[in-house]
Structure 1
Amino acid sequence: MLLQHSTLLREVTNEIQQNLDTNTIFQIAVDKIQNILKADRVAIFRLDPESNYTEGVFVAERVLPVFCSVVSAQVREESLGLNPVSRYQLGQVFAIEDVYKAGLSEFHIQIYARFEVRATLVVPMLQGDTLWGFLCIHQCSGPRVWLPTEIEFVQQLATQLSIALKQAKLYEHALEKSQQLQLALQQVEIQKEQEAWKAKYERNIAEIILRIRQSLDIQDIFRATTHDVRESLGCDRVVVYKFFPDWSGEFLVEATAPNILPLSELEVPMVWQDTYLQENQGGKYRDNATTVVADIYQESYRDCHLEILEWYKIRAYMVVPVFIGETLWGLLAAYQLNVPRQWHKVELYLLKQAGAQLGVALQQAELLKQVRESRDKAEAANKAKSAFLANMSHELRTPLNAILGFSQLLARDENLTLEQKQTLNTINRSGSHLLSLINDVLDMSKIEAGKIALNPKNCDLLPLLDSLQEMFALKAKSKGLVLNIQKSSQLPSHIRVDESRLRQVLINLLTNALKFTDVGSVTLRVFTQPLPAPFSLNQETLQPSLSLCFDVEDTGIGIANNELDHIFEAFIQTSSGRRSHEGTGLGLAICHHFIHLMEGDIQIQSQLGQGTTVSVQIPVLIPEVKAVEDSAYANVIGLAPDQAPIRMLIVEDNPENRQILKRLMTELGFEVQTVDNGQAAVECWQTWRPHMIWMDWQLPILNGYEATKAIRSLEAQDQDAGDLASQNAVEITDRLPERTIIIAVSASVFEDTQAECEDVGCDDFLCKPYQPSMLYELLVQHLNLKFLYGNQGQTVAASGDGDSPLMRDREAELQLSQRTEEWLTQFQQAAVELDEELVSQKIADITADNPRLTKKLMKLFSGFQFDQIADLVDNALSLKGKA
């Protein structure tokens, strides 16, 4: 029997261990025990932990069919007459052979009778130290003596059940963890899909925003936005809706799926009359609210509202507001037609972002429109200003040219008395002062346009200072002031600087000092200082440079501290200046700009009632050759002998200016004819063929531009016909140009006028009023002349530059374009970086091959006009690129 129990125990244990499901384990155990022990019933009773292990329920059994089932029956532990729970925790069993002879109470006997139990064997099932339940063996048909082997067998089975329960519990826990992990993985996958979906929409939003920002045309922005939003959402239609002032509105732009007809082809109105929006002036959209509808028939819409939606076949939709700043401009809507649709939050987010960017684009478009309107107005005002300044320049400079011209001609008369000469000098100084006032206004206009450039040249410093003293001595004497000009003994005699700009600065400063000083003195101190290290130069042709310093000190009314910060602003006058009712408020602004253009510095110190001191420092170069460039034409009295006769035509409608220029040219020895309009100039050219024409630009009948264009056209026709020389023309020597030299003469100083002259074929430009030396320089440059001078009776060629005229810019650009692109690029970079050594080296490269081009470049180089060199090379590169 013992062997049989061991064998059966092993079989039962194996079957139990092969299963992890608790119910299956229980059923295997009760089945096997019932078969082995031949008991009427075998059941498993589980205690309820929540009842503190005092109640429980039968969870499994195997019972003979003649007896009742106890499964699911709930029983209190003490009603079974069992021992206290603590005893079972120690592994004790409870065995009754006959419930009627065990001395049990009537209550317990009735309970056992309820389950038809006559004999019972109860073995505890433990989980560690915790009592889980009982394995119960019932004999219902009669009493039964429980053998020790049977009790031991049941105990061993109970132990195996306890182990199986623990394994099942661990399995269930593992299974639960596995299920939790699976659920977590599913959630992660769902989240990944959502994140991928969201990332896709974020990319779509970024692309939409990029498309919006790539255009400033609002219609293009509307079309791109609606298209991209519809593609991203995959909906049937996306529209841009604009409010009218009465809060009705219309569909401006739409994007529609390929299989959907656009609104414009449907018999539906493009204007939407929404009474809610009209009555509430945009309704909730004014508060930046949105609308999301999955199905219009699930909303509590009125019939009239549903009817409108049905017109457009809208079944589901989203609407977001579009704001310009804080003003509701319109709506952006996405529609799903005919079928419901559940809109996701990320889709609404995309639509809101697109609506917000549309608002920004609309605001930018509005700002751009305002900027363009402002720009157009500014350009119109600038053109009007330019036209006014051009007319003013012409109207003022033309008579001024006559005043200065006649006074200069009279000054040549050797029979003048000393008083007459002084009167003429006064006329000249007054005319020059008037010219400086005109130039102030014109220079300010140029400064504003960024078109002011320096023209440095060698000049005589001491005579410049002497002329200032002479100019202002009478003004100072008339006001009872002492004018002091203190010159340092260390001053160089010659400097290289833009003399006209420097003179203008000093005249403006001295004029201001005298104007605002009523008692005391005005002092101009001129001295030098070493040049700061960043400006130090050491070139072969230049001595060490220095800072030229000017202090203009007065004992005048002074300037308030709160006005010093704005003293250099254009058209700004101090309170003292406004009380004087003189000037334009441009003088100091122009001085400030010129000084900084010359890389100098200007400082002002002043105290009310005590006076003002203006300090100026300008870096200058000391030329090795002391010659002053303008002195070459100081005393020209005529043409040198043995030169070919030259015919010269003067085209000028102003009789005074015409008379002055004719007298100057006739005295030099030219054959001169004059006309007063452009048409007459063309006719004279055809019959007389002048070598040179002084062409005024503002002429009656044909202006200077039209006359020059006509002459150049006739010249081209003659060249094509091979008949360059007219039968009336005198034979031209090889010293004279093969075509007529045309010099434009105008009172306009604006670059566009000069550019116009060059474009139509003029060889050069002369600005009124002019000095005779300017005329002589142009004659030498273009006609290769030599002059006779009155002081020594000698002849001098053009500025010491040889007999050949200086090459024109266009010819220089064409010659440069023959060089390699690498060479030109290096040359341009050297000019831009002011690398004098490399610029000089590049010019040396072409000296042997092209001396005329070398002469042109060397003149620019010696004048430190690196910007013009860079421009010539840049244009040469452009010509090379077009070739």
Structure 2
Amino acid sequence: MLYKIVRKILKVFAYLLCKLLGQPSVSDLETQLHDKYVQIQQLEEQERALYRVISKIRASLELEKIFRTATKETCKLLRIERIAVYRFDENWGGEFVSEFEFAEPGWDDVDTLGKNTVWNDSYLQEHQGGRYRNNETLVVSDVYAIGLSQCHLEILEQFHIRAYATAPIFVGKKLWGVLAAYQHSQPHEWKKLEIRFLSQIATQLGFAVKQAEFLAQAEQKAAELHKANEQQDILFNLVAEIRESLNLDTLFKTTAREIRKALRTDRVSIFRFYPESNYTSGEFVSENVLPDYDSTIAIKVKDDCFSEKYAVAYHQGRIQVLSDVYQAGLKDCHLQLLEQFQIKAQIVVPLMKGKTLWGLLCVHQCRCSREWKTPEIQFIRQLAAQFNVALEHSELLEQSRSQAHQLAQANHALELANSQLEKLSKLDGLTQIANRHCFDEFLEQEWVRLRRTENYLSLVLFDIDYFKGYNDFYGHLVGDECLIQVARAAQAVLKRPTDLLARYGGEEFIVILPNTNELGAIKVTKLIQKSIQQLKIPHRNQNNFQSFLTVSLGVAIQKPTAKSSPQDLINAADKALYKAKEQGRNRWVCAAKL
């Protein structure tokens, strides 16, 4: 009892002494230490959350899926009521994108920002992005406490916005849009960690948009190559027909049909001048036209001004390209002639027989105006040239052989380009090994094959130990170089052409070993671990002691059956990898045979 009394007296004395000296008490220090510990825990939790979100963003190439994932995860992690994405247009106005927004239940149907709501901020338009151009965030804890104008408040009230925080999204050096967090029900005191997290997600979204733009450009190029290939095939076939047959009626019909099909236009007609008319009159001798529009066959056309104003130019190879006949400055008499045939846009190419203007190849758009593309015009020019060869019998063989050689080269170039595009679509852009898409396809293929032959299929799943700490300490550029070195070291171990190394995601890699039992899989696993250790890549571990980079590996072996699936094998390798980490990392664990 006396001991307790003395202890209380000492604690009171210590407290009074701290007060007298102006120093914090032990209790105060304990409280401060606890608060600091909580802050560190929160920061670590946010870093882990950020890493998870970034991994999900990088796992997809679909822009809508990337934004939906990011907004949903951010909304959940910040515990707020809505995350929206505002995209700038060319004049610095913009709109909220409905496909990218996420709102908590109860707010997802209330005046949704994301119904492609146009919200043109005059300040942002006048200052071309304002503060966001300087990569600054904007934080408002209560819209009623910052002195906004009434008109501004009315807009915010329309969408029930009580507090918000925004961060810019940059694609390269260009300000693309804004990632916005909204609180509807009440004010919200934004914490520094929340703003930092929002900014980091906005940065990652900028990277994702850039990646999607690169993919869209590649897909557009592939589509253009595919279309060019189709047109070259049509051209090649027409050349072959011209070579085999000089029957003009057949050639007329084939040419008109194939051109209309290739260009997806409304009508293609062949017009022939009467030989003695001095280019003042003639008629349409062949055509291919959609059912919605009138036929031009056998219609006689008389145009006295053509001989005077246009015949010489067409003799010299003129091609007339009109995207809109009403915007081309044509005379009324010429417009009336075009209206007779319902023409809104057209391409007209001369057809020559030797040095004589024989007729015209006419491509008509009747439904509406049309912007003709350079490859389309070039395609018509090439076909007209071949048609001229057919008209000039003596030059047929030489012209056809030359064109066939050019087409063969073009087709070969297109095949090489398509092959390269196919290869690029299956490679990881950083490490240049197989990507996740290629892994999924190859695993499914080998699973089906080995199920028939009843042979083993093995997987080795491994990742770099404490790679997040490596990135934090050395920086992401060095981290990327580290991933490249690890991929090369692992690839050097695989000697069989049937084995596949792929980047599974982030710092995770996976190896497919067909026709490989447990002994063989463990042998390869040890060699991979040793090969990476021999790189001796410096890495400060979690205790900040200098060491070298290591990996943990999980191995799974199975004979594929009708009752199992490739995912079972992946799950087993993943569990084995998890056990390797639990046991201290820098080791491998083999799962029991499935």
User: Fold match, TM over 0.5?
Assistant: no
TM-score (ref. length: structure 1)? 0.25
Larger relative CO (CA 8 A, sep 6+): 1 or 2? 2
Rg: which structure is higher? 1
